[in-house]
Amino acid sequence: MNTIYELLLLIPVLLFSLSLHEFMHGYASYKLGDPTPKSQGRLTLNPLAHLDPMGSLVLILTRRFGWAKPVPINPNYYKNPRQGMMLVSLAGPGANFFLAAVFALIARVIVFFSSSTLYQLQMAGYGNLVQTIFVFFQLAVIINLSLGFFNLLPVPPLDGSKILMGILPPKFDKYIRKLEGPYGMILLLLLAYTGVLWSVIGPLVNTVYGLLL
């Protein structure tokens, strides 16, 4: 696909998908009794409140991986901080998987209707428009599946590390926390640059993509 063309389709998907991902983290924390996300102005779908310049650039360049600004939360407000952190962490990837399913459904509807009327649309000059819309939703499915599985990796600062800490006994927390700070992000960027990251989550993305579309 033409790079410029793909980028034009990618940007709106990027903005909405990352914004919903972070919004759901904040909303889940808020519903568990934490007022921090609301007080910090993060209970919004406005991309300007959520986007991280570097994370957005990485997503545009890789078309697979990226991140937004973490939503500030305070687990001390939760009745069960350990379980609460796990639920809040699951909310972000869960939102991306939900979006992938919705976008896939829309793409299937487009195929269903365009298959019977494609000739008429082509004659009317709208054939390329239908194809562009379908490619947009295909890309949206891939991006959201990639974001969902990427964030489930158990490497700080990704959601998967907090989910793992909620599953494992507390004595294992110190081992996961050793990767917090710059070390975890450096490891992720290195894995992404070498292609190892996609070799891990790529089969998962492709399998679910095949089921959805």
pLDDT in tens, 133-166: 888 899 899 999 999 999 999 988 899 999 999 9
CB count in 10 Å sphere of residue 119: 11
Residue ranges of the chain with per-residue pLDDT less than 70: 1-3, 62-66, 114-127
Q: What is the pTM of this model?
A: 0.87
CA 108 from chain center: how many Å?
21
CB proximity list for 28: less than 8 A, separation 6 or greater: 87, 88, 90, 91
Cis peptide before 157 (omega within 30 of 0): yes
The pLDDT of residue 192 is 78
Ordered by start, the domain boundaries in the chain are 1-210
The catalytic residues are: 22
**Alpha-carbon distance 181 to 99, whole Å?**
30
